[in-house]
Structure 1
Amino acid sequence: MKNVGMKADSYRTAVATGILYAPAHCIELLRTGNTEKGDALKTARIAGILAAKRTDELIPLCHPLPIYRADVEYELHEQHVEIIATVETIAPTGVEMEALTAVSLAGLTLYDMLKPHCEPEDLCLDQCKLQLKKGGKSHFTRTLKQTLSASIPLLQEKNLIQQGKIQVNYQVIADSPEQLLALIEQQKNHYPLILTVGGTGLGPKDLTVETIQPLLQREIPGLMEASRSFGQRRTPYAALSRGIAGYIDTSLVITLPGSRQGAKESLIAILPALVHLFDVQKNIPHVGGYQ
């Protein structure tokens, strides 16, 4: 199975459809609920919902997911019925396969309940396909529409993963509040984004927060709240990070943990929000948000 442990949860929706072709008299049996085996539409709806909830047991490499909504609806036509499945979750991966599985099992159930009423060649399950998916990286983009310049003062040598269209200027400095203040003063207004790495813990030399917080003119507490929440599900030590974020003049300053994994997890957690923020600031057309 693919490792999704480092992907952020988001609200995800998938809609899939399929078509069952059947003679007109069979469509009428669906409409009235009078097949030999009972009400086929209601039975198939339950089958589809159960299938969505158990997709990980049916398809070997699918992840088990909490299913917050699963529903099956129909549109009856003269010689076919369209099956529509909608599945929703909050998870690190999508529910496309759950929606497709729901359509497939609902269609097979209808097929089974109609086959006593016609010849086998009169029934055909067709066009099972995904119509819509929302959530995750396809909806909450992780790539800027235009290149952004960023400065990263490192309190110790670390390699960060670059994501999106970001031109990065790295600088390594000592654990010195004076040097950090001087660098922030020099670089503010020249870089839209300044990331500090290190100094957010509880050690005697961890003074990044105390150094930068008095300079912040507009704090954005939600960024580091998201970072700590993401990290807390992976290590209990994330609760000890004191990172902060906010604007100093026109530069967004974010303080990341000094550990490579901590910095990586923080960026994963806040990257969609950062991309959205900078796209909005530059008045670039975007999907969702304050449009």
Structure 2
Amino acid sequence: MEAKVKSISDKIETLRRATAVASISGRPEVIRALMVGDTPKGNAIDVAKVAGIAAAKKTWDLIPYCHPLMLDQVQVSFEAHDTQIDVVATATATGKTGVEMEALTAVSVAALTLYDMAKAMDESMVIGGIRLQEKRGGKSDYNDRAPNNFRAAVIVTSDGTAAGVRQDKSGQLIQKHLEKYGIHNIRYTILPDDTDSIVHEMKGCVSEGVQLVLSTGGTGLSCRDVTVEAARQVIEREVPGIAETMRSYGQRRTPYAMLSRGIAGVADKTVIVTLPGSSRGVSESLDAIFPYILHAYPMMDGGGH
């Protein structure tokens, strides 16, 4: 298989933190000399700390397929034992990918620096135990799940698709995306761009207890784009952050995302989201809000934020 840099284009930015550890072992007198700065090259701990921080910032230069990251903070600390010094580094960033490689690089270079500072005293020192201790951030930290017996509805609003002259792609894409999150009970409807028909279908979903309604189409500026107006007749409380998140995510990928009028909100305990009509707009919007939108259900049941 050909080696390649993994694309992170579809990821969202989250706060990410990783802690790594390493150790360097040697004779007790050498360990003491390192900790108090009494080595042939001077204050080893201070130099090793700076070296570790500098290395973390250069990780993408050293490891070929690491993505460049704007680090918010790197901390390097040292804990001495009789014959060993433990090196601990924590890297923090707000970005699309984790900072575990930065933390691992920091402890590796810090330990190497300690060895360099004291190798004239003990060439038998051993560096080891390099490992990731903790990693936080990204989708793995937000593993929201759909409640049991979850029901969803996909509403495709398009005159052409309803008339059979255009094939639906966006609705099918939504169904596949829902299935990735274990949602298989999906009601699928194709409607013309007609306000009354859309309102009737959405109200029917709410009355039948469908938990999530995702529509596609009718969020643009054409006189036939009426899905937003229809949804407003059904939604009892808007949730502006959902639509804001979709537009913000999309705008960073295409300059036309700002032209979507999509809204989102709640009617009873049904979450309604109006997605764009294009398959690209649908895909980007779903990447922006899933699985995080599923956190709405425990919130509505009183589970808090």
Is TM-score (shorter-chain normalized) higher than 0.5? Answer: yes
Deviates more, 1:264-273 or 1:251-260: 264-273
Q: Which amino acid aligns with 1:185?
A: K
* Unmatched segments (≥5 aa) in structure 1: none
After superposition, the C-alpha distances for 1:4-44 in whole angstroms (9 at most, x for unaligned) are 11111111100000111121111211221121111111111
CA distance in structure 1 between the partners assigned to 2:18 and 2:149 by the alignment: 31
State the partner residue of 1:188: 206
State the TM-score, normalizing by the size of structure 1. 0.93
Q: Contact conserved, 1:142 with 1:164, CA < 8 A, in 2?
A: no
State the partner residue of 1:49: 53
After superposition, the C-alpha distances for 1:108-142 in whole angstroms (9 at most, x for unaligned) are 00011111112x22x11111000111111210225
State the partner residue of 2:109: 105
Please tell me whether residue 164 in structure 1 is matched to residue 166 in structure 2.
Answer: no
- For the residue of structure 1 that corresponds to 2:71, the secondary structure is coil
2:132 to 126, 130, 133: 130
State the partner residue of 1:265: 284
CA distance in structure 1 between the partners assigned to 2:8 and 2:211 by the alignment: 31
How far is the alpha carbon of 1:146 from its aligned partner?
Answer: 3.8
After superposition, the C-alpha distances for 1:62-107 in whole angstroms (9 at most, x for unaligned) are 1111111111111111111110010011111101111101110001
* Unmatched segments (≥5 aa) in structure 2: 159-167
Hey, which bits of structure 1, 4+ residues long, moved more than 3 A? 142-147, 279-284
CA distance in structure 2 between the partners assigned to 1:193 and 1:222 by the alignment: 16
State the partner residue of 1:64: 68
CA distance in structure 2 between the partners assigned to 1:273 and 1:37 by the alignment: 52
Distance 1:104 1:152, change over 3 A: same
Q: Contact conserved, 1:197 with 1:257, CA < 8 A, in 2?
A: yes
State the partner residue of 2:265: 246
How many residues are paired up? Answer: 284
For 1:150-229, what aligned pairs fall within 5 Å after superposition? 150-156=152-158, 157=168, 158=170, 159-160=172-173, 161-162=177-178, 163-167=180-184, 168-189=186-207, 190-229=209-248
Q: Which amino acid aligns with 1:77?
A: H
Q: Contact conserved, 1:146 with 1:165, CA < 8 A, in 2?
A: no
- For the residue of structure 2 that corresponds to 1:117, the secondary structure is coil
CA distance in structure 1 between the partners assigned to 2:200 and 2:155 by the alignment: 11
Q: Contact conserved, 1:145 with 1:165, CA < 8 A, in 2?
A: no
Among the aligned pairs, what percent are the same residue? 39
- For the residue of structure 1 that corresponds to 2:77, the secondary structure is strand
CA distance in structure 2 between the partners assigned to 1:186 and 1:144 by the alignment: 21
State the partner residue of 2:161: none
Q: Contact conserved, 2:269 with 2:300, CA < 8 A, in 1?
A: no
CA distance in structure 2 between the partners assigned to 1:146 and 1:281 by the alignment: 15
Q: Which amino acid aligns with 2:44?
A: A
CA distance in structure 1 between the partners assigned to 2:149 and 2:92 by the alignment: 34
State the partner residue of 1:30: 34
